[in-house]
Amino acid sequence: MPYPNAEAVMNRARAFVNDAFRGGAGRILTDQNPFTVEFLNGALEFLQDRIRNRGVITLEYDNVILSPITPAPTAQPGTQQQVAYNGFFDGATWHATPALPANCVSVLELSERQTGSGLPFQPMKQLRPLPDRFPGPWLVNWEYRQDRIILLGSTVSEDLRIRYQSQLTPIAPATAQNPLSNVTIQILCSINSLAHIVAYFYARALGASAAPTMQADAEVQIKLLTNRYTRQNQRTLYRRRGFGFDNIGRINLPW
């Protein structure tokens, strides 16, 4: 499997900091020491922030449906609905569902369709700030602020399809029943990147003179990892749509 496990990351990190004693289990940076899992989770968060900022799509989720977005209770301009981690605010009352996925850290794109219609989803446009308008049969616009989706509401129930950036679940401390070897890290071929970051955190905590070198090594490994995804994206053909063409490639003549 190309996804590494947490034990492989720690074995590599212990080798980097010259603590590969006891068959690689270490004497200081052991799985059982409480600071070990903190270094490991810190490295995981650090790497995720870097690869998200560089457009790596391995942490992106798509086609997640939030439904139903019920009509606004009052058809008044200025009414705003919200989809948050704790549920849905319809403009007057909070409901437990639908809610943002727990692993969502940033919403990228939204599309909509009327609930039960079976029609294709239509893309929505994000505006900042949202305008005041009377609700109609479509939501049309959205805004992402305060870590929630803000909507103007509609006159019918809607389904939302969201594309978002995710965050991996933090790693729990190792136990006899759940060792680090049982924990899969869902970032492809990331052992070197994570191990170098752990080694840097550990060396910095000790005040080691090698800490800056380890930091530089970590940056090299992160760059190598992100370059793999960058080159994959460069293979995708992007072509500007010609003036006067509609969504299915036909010419829209002005007469």
Q: What is the pLDDT of residues 197-246, one digit of tens each?
A: 999 999 999 999 999 999 999 999 999 999 887 766 555 554 555 555 44
Whether residue 177 contacts residue 82, with contact meaning beta carbons closer than 8 Å, is answered with: no
Instruction: Give tens-digit pLDDT for 166-208.
Output: 999 999 999 999 999 999 999 999 999 999 999 999 999 999 9
* pLDDT at res. 53: 87
Q: Is the pLDDT reported for residue 249 higher than 80?
A: no
The model's pLDDT over 69-106, given as tens digits with 9 standing for 90+, comes to 999 888 788 889 999 999 999 999 999 999 999 999 99
pLDDT value at position 196? 97
Lowest mean pLDDT among 5-14, 47-56, 95-104, 163-172: 47-56
